[in-house]
Amino acid sequence: MALANGLLVHDRDNWAAAVRGVDGELRIASGRAPRVEGVPALDLPLVRGLVRLGEAFVVLPLIRRRLPEARFALEDRRALSVAAASTIAIAIARRRLRSIWAQEILSSVGGLVPALVILRGSRVAVWHAVEHKCIAAYEQGGLDAVADAETMPKEHERCGSNLVLPLILTGTAANVLARRVTGRRGLVTKTVASALSIGVAVEVFAFAGRRPRHPLSRAVHAAGHWVQANFVTREPTQGDLVVGRAALEALARASGAGISTNGAPPPE
């Protein structure tokens, strides 16, 4: 995960983060990653995606406690201003549309605009590219290869941007279905529809990773690559890549014998 001033990486059991403080110095911290285990139902399709995403967000307050210098991607006044303006604009535009499908497509697409606008003009895009380059180098040759991460592409096939197309499609469909069934668009209806759409989108994301040559997977990755190339990544400097390497090295230390490259899932 790209931070506003550095990088967070994690494997199954541990997390590590490295950031540049306001004084330019490198700050590093690591710890155990919280996981929900022992409940068979949590590994069911749809449910498992929500659980794993929830685990990723639970890490954030732990990082802030261990690494107070860390700053998160949407943690600024500009982000709040853009989000508020987008919400108002969507609400006004929705009232002009009579079609339920048009209203929900507008909401799904418009809800992503603030994040893309903010990321495109911020340093987060640089740290996002650091994430992709360092992870790609690590996957090809382990920690030693991260020293040459600048040669790696700044786009990555497992980037969360590959959720954009699935979220737009599943979010639109889920909200339309919920409104047709319940006859309204209340808070409970929206919450249930959002949970369902996220669960389905994560399953599509996972499917695309397992079967990259499938037509659906190609469409998902094409949309994600376009978002990465045009909005959410920007070429980093060698100094930025040093921070990414420090995060991976800290994760290897937290994991004991190091991060395995032999069949174990790589850090994300």
Residues 11-39 have a mean pLDDT of: 87
Instruction: Encode the chain in three state secondary structure.
Output: CECCCEEEEECCCEEEEEEECCCCCEEEEEEECCCCCCCHHHHCCCHHHHHHHHHHHHHHHHHHHHCCCCCCCCCCHHHHHHHHHHHHHHHHHHHCCCCHHHHHHHHHHHCCHHHHHHHHCCCHHHHHHHHHHHHHHHHHHCHHHHHHHHHCCCCCCCCHHHHHHHHHHHHHHHHHHHHHHHCCCCHHHHHHHHHHHHHHHHHHHHHHHHCCCCHHHHHHHHHHHHHHHHHHCCCCCHHHHHHHHHHHHHHHHHCCCCCCCCCCCCCC
- pLDDT tens per residue across span 197-228: 889 999 999 999 899 999 999 999 999 999 99
Instruction: Provide the pLDDT for residue 257.
Output: 53
Rounded to 10°, the helix 164-182/187-210 angle is: 140
Single pTM value for the model: 0.81
Please state, for a pLDDT cut of 70, what percent of the chain lies above it: 92
Retrieve residue 135's tokens: 């992870």
Mean of the per-residue pLDDT values of the chain: 84
Q: Is the pLDDT of residue 232 over 70?
A: yes
Burial class (CB in 10 A: 0-12, 13-18, 19+), 152: buried
Please state, for a pLDDT cut of 90, what percent of the chain lies above it: 35
45-52 contacts: CB < 8 A, separation 24 or more? 45/199, 45/203, 46/196, 46/199, 46/200, 46/203, 47/199, 48/202, 49/198, 49/199, 49/201, 49/202, 49/203, 49/205, 49/206, 50/195, 50/198, 50/199, 50/202, 52/202
> What gap in Å lies between CA 220 and CA 204, rounded to an integer?
8
- pLDDT tens per residue across span 148-203: 899 999 999 888 889 989 999 998 998 888 888 887 667 777 888 888 888 999 99
- pLDDT tens per residue across span 52-110: 778 878 888 888 899 999 988 767 667 677 777 878 888 888 888 888 888 888 888 87
